[in-house]
Amino acid sequence: MKNHIRFLGLLCASLGIITIAHAQTPLDGLMMPKGEICIALQYDQVTWDRYWEGSTIRVNQNIGNFTKQMGMPMVVGGITDKVNVILSLPYVKTAASAGQLTSVQGIQDLGISVKALFLEKPIGKGKLTGFSNLSFSTPASNYLSDYMPFSLGFGANELGIRAIGKYELDKGPYFRASYAYLQRGATEAERDFYYADQAYYTSKMDVPNAFQGQLTLGSWLFNYRLRVEASLTTIRSTSGDDIRVYSMPQPTNKVNFGRVEGFAQYYFKSGGKGFGLIASYQQAISGRNMGQFSGYGLGITYQFKAF
Amino acid sequence: MKKYNYINIGLLLITFLVSSCVEDLPTKYDFTGYQYSNLDANAGQWKLILHTSNEQIPLPIPVAAGSPGLLKELADAKEKQGKATSAQREAVTYWTNNPLLRWNEIALELATKYNLIPAPNPDGSYPVPDPANPSKYPQFPYSHPPYTSRMLAYLSVAQYDGLIMAWQYKYKFKRQAPYQLDPQIKSSYENNGLFSYPSDGAVVAIASRDVLTAMFPLEKEFLAQKVQEHLESLVVAGINVSSDVEAGKLIGTEVAKTALSRASTDGMKNAQTTRAKSDSIKNAAKERFGWVWENQETPQRMVGLVPLFSKVRLWNVPNVEAIRPGPPPAPNSPEFQKAAAELKQYANNLTTDQRRIANFWNDGLNTYTPPGHWNRFAKEEVVASKLSPVRTARVFAYLNMAIVDAGIGCWDAKYYYHYPRPIQSIPGFKTILGTPNFPAYTSGHATFSGAAAEVMAHFFPVNASQFRTWAEEASMSRIYGGIHYSFDATAGLTQGRQAAAYSISRAKLDGVD
């Protein structure tokens, strides 16, 4: 019974986590049963007033407070009990409080992700589960990636492959770890010459690939109606150049960061069906070539049996 | 469970396939050595720019074919060619038989590398690069468009004078190339029969190294390594023996000295002024016209970029007044209002194509600047037309003299009129491009491009309309980008064309176009 509730309860949970660079990647350890669908509307906002230029903190009064807002509809569906599909399509808006550069907004990247449960094994007073996940995202509008930090995204396809392991005690607490490799393609600039440690005579910019790791401690509370998590995430680019002194960032930059996050999800009905709410807070704790961001997210979810 | 394993294997496979098709992106212009369309046998008679005589730099008379000295040099060249490492063979391919194009490319790369604006000090003031202490932040130079335009002119003029002299001696001494003297030596390039004494490649290598080292002192070691690789490649390629190279070095050294001696007294060192001087220039404009440009950054830059670049010595234009346009419309005049309304209209309704044009021509900080952009076009045009090295040098010399003259005239107008930028005059105006740290009128992009397009049109008349279209597009790009009024662009194009006319009429004295 408890396991069953856990299964139902879950899914919408996939939704809580936003990365700064692009749409959410589903990296939780939950699975929706066949025929269940969860739809979600998520709002996230991050701000920063200083950024890492390479590894040096820079304050730029011609940017002031930088804000990135994201509204994201998302759908998670159980194809089978062991395979879920997740779709997302964020709308992003960026703006700076100072300086004269114009803000931008628009549809960012369409994300499609398939998650498969491949391991489920009771151990001691809990259960170990393992998932693999393949995600793909692609720009869904002709936004200009070479307009950083304002650009909506990095403007390239991303293929992610991820492993997720979770150990959950029957009483509710759980530990989760995930590790992913994110393969990015090239983005198209509107200039055909740029400098990234050397001159490039092309409008193609190579967006660095990255590894992403995450450790999470969480627990179910109140008979599986509330879930709380604290997590630590790190992104490490495998290549790329640093932002040059007092210069603009560009999609070729080596972007690294570490982030802590708190997350809570509440279901109005036990069992997971019906409406739920999500709230999160995140903060950068280290970084390279990106804003020292902090921000929050709010979401509403609705889950139902579709077939 | 098996089914999922298949899925997982599939995922891995896809990841592998995606990663294996990532291509190498080009870091230089992709061209190889080519057969010159014309050897330009009489180029030794073309008009020198900085020198008075085509034999002003004396060369030793080369030893004759068949003499023991030359035979030994040929044997040495043969050995070097036979024992060439793969890196040396790659260098032969890279440098080509028109290596001026590579040196120009290196110059553009250095211009880009050093085109970074100083960041503010903690107290809100701004530091200035110090040529006497180039490695101290902000590094010297700050290779902004005026600096780059001037640097390219000295580079190109030194190369050109050096190659005119090289051609003079080539056709005077008529020493045959190694691959002609010894059938066992193969030319890595087309066998064009060009005489080899002195080596034109060595002239270009040394002249370029010396000018660029003066312009980018922190790159001394990088340039030394480049020059060594290039000189070595001349012998490995089978087109020169060591005495050809040595003679070329003599010319290269001397023409660079002449160019740098002009540079040392051309007024550039005073172009970036003190605050007091900058204020007096500003006040003069205020009294004259009633308006004044102010930098809009935070913290504010109290001195614009090189207010006295206008005093730098011109190459072919007699004086800045000769190409100074009339005044721009007064802020808030009907003509101004019309131009401001046009900017707002673009800002609110920018099309994808207009945005692309704004970004394509941006050529701002951390790029090779508009002068660099036009040098790149010239390089591509030279290769398409298969010009000889000396004719290539001629294109770049007249092009870059016109560009820097246009820039000097443009900077005169900028600080004479001291006209505000759109972000200063139009309340709440936002742009997609960064606004530079100097007054609006006339547009540097328009002026540089107007000049460059006319010189290119003169040398490559078949594509004249293409170059002029580009210049108009470059001018419009600043209006789409929200950082210039249309009258800045119109006046700049005209000013640039006027500057080019002086350069072109000097080129015509050669009588070879």
- At residue A123, the 3 state secondary structure works out as strand
Kindly tell me the number of DSSP H helices and DSSP E strands found in chain A: 1, 20
Give dist(CA B310, CA B58) in Å, integer: 36
What CA–CA distance (Å, rounded) separates B36 from B191? 10
A270 — pLDDT class (breaks 50, 70, 90): confident
Report in angstroms the alpha-carbon separations of B49 from A26, B111, B157.
67, 24, 7
* pLDDT (0 to 100) of residue B196: 98
SS3 A134: strand
DSSP lists the bridge partners of residue A77 as: A37, A85
Domain contains B319: yes
Q: Is the residue at B1 inside a domain? A: no
pLDDT averaged over consecutive 10-residue blocks of chain B (513 residues)?
Answer: 52 52 84 97 97 97 96 98 97 98 98 98 96 97 98 98 98 98 96 96 98 98 98 98 98 98 98 98 98 98 98 98 98 97 98 98 98 98 98 98 98 98 97 98 98 98 98 98 98 98 96 83
Q: Which pLDDT does position A31 carry in this prediction? A: 80
Q: Where are the domains of chain A?
A: 2-305
Q: Is A202 on the interface with B (CB under 8 A)?
A: yes
B431: distance to nearest CA of chain A, Å?
5
Residue pLDDT, tens place only, A187-197: 999 999 999 99
| Domain identity same for B229 and B283 | no
Tell me the C-alpha to C-alpha distance, in Å, between residue B69 and each of B64, B75, B194, B310.
8, 10, 21, 53
Q: How far is A114 from chain B (nearest CA, A)?
A: 10
- Reported as a single tens digit per residue, the pLDDT across B303-345 is 999 999 999 999 999 999 999 999 999 999 999 999 999 999 9
C-alpha span between B373 and A30 (Å, rounded): 54
Distance from CA of A11 to the nearest CA of B (A): 20
State residue A33's pLDDT score. Answer: 86
Residue A229 has pLDDT above 90, yes or no: yes
A132 contacts in chain B (CB < 8 Å): 4, 7-8, 11
One domain for residues B304 and B342: yes
pLDDT at A8 over 70: no
3-state secondary structure of B329: coil
Asked whether residue B17 is assigned to any structural domain, the reply reads no
A28 to chain B, closest Cα gap in Å: 18
Smallest Cα–Cα separation from A43: which of A295, A267, A303? A295
pLDDT at B306: 98
> Does residue B391 share a domain with residue B242?
no
Average confidence (pLDDT) over A85-109: 96
- The beta-carbon neighbor of A195 closest among B19, B113, B296 is B113
What is the pLDDT, as a whole number, of residue B6?
54
- Contact assessment for residue A280 and residue A16, using Cβ atoms and an 8 Å cutoff: yes
pLDDT band at A29 (very low <50, low <70, confident <90, very high): low
Helix (H) or strand (E) holding A267: strand A256-267
Mean pLDDT of chain A: 90
- Please tell me whether residues B285 and B247 are part of one structural domain: no
- Which of the listed residues B237, B264, B291 is the one where a domain comes to its end? B264
CA distance B61 to B58: 9
Q: What is the pLDDT of residues B355-404, one digit of tens each?
A: 999 999 999 999 999 999 999 999 999 999 999 999 999 999 999 999 99
pLDDT level of residue A273 (50, 70, 90 thresholds)? confident
- Cβ of A192 within 8 Å of Cβ of B432? The answer is no
**In this structure, are B161 and B208 located in the same domain?**
yes
Q: Is the pLDDT of residue A230 over 70?
A: yes
Substitution target in B23, B359, B376, B437 with the highest count of A β-carbons within 10 Å is B359
Check CB contact under 8 Å for B430 and A100.
yes
Is residue A11 scored above 50 in pLDDT? Answer: no
What single DSSP character describes residue B46?
S
Q: Does B233 share its domain with B293?
A: no
Is the pLDDT confidence value at A3 over 60? no
Across the range A251-275, mean pLDDT stands at: 92
The reply to whether B226 and B311 lie within a common domain is: no
* pLDDT for residue A124 is more than 90: yes
CA–CA distance, B305 with B129 (Å, rounded to integer)? 12
Report yes or no on B30 lying in a domain: no
* 3-class DSSP state of B197: coil
**What CATH number matches the domain at A2-305, 2.60.40.10, 3.40.50.620, 2.40.160.40, 2.70.170.10?**
2.40.160.40
Residue B380's CATH number: 1.10.606.20
B326 part of a folded domain = yes
Residue A194 sits at the chain B interface (C-beta within 8 Å): yes
A-chain residue closest to B139, CA distance: A245
CA angle B456, B460, B464 (to 5 degrees): 70
Q: Is residue B13 part of a domain?
A: no
Inter-chain contacts counted by CB atoms under 8 A, chains A and B: 123
Task: Return residues 87-126 of B near A (CB < 8 Å).
Answer: 105, 108-109, 112-113, 116-119
* Res B22: pLDDT: 54
What residues of chain B lie within 8 A of the CB of A251, using their CB? none
Reported as a pLDDT band with limits 50, 70 and 90, residue A18 is: very low
- Is the domain of B302 the same as that of B396? yes
Contact status of A191 with chain B (Cβ, < 8 Å) = yes
In-domain check, residue B96: yes
Domain that holds residue B93: 43-58+67-264
**Which residues in chain B are closer than 8 Å to A183, comparing Cβ atoms?**
15, 18-19
| Crossing angle (nearest 10°) for helices B100-113 and B369-385 | 160
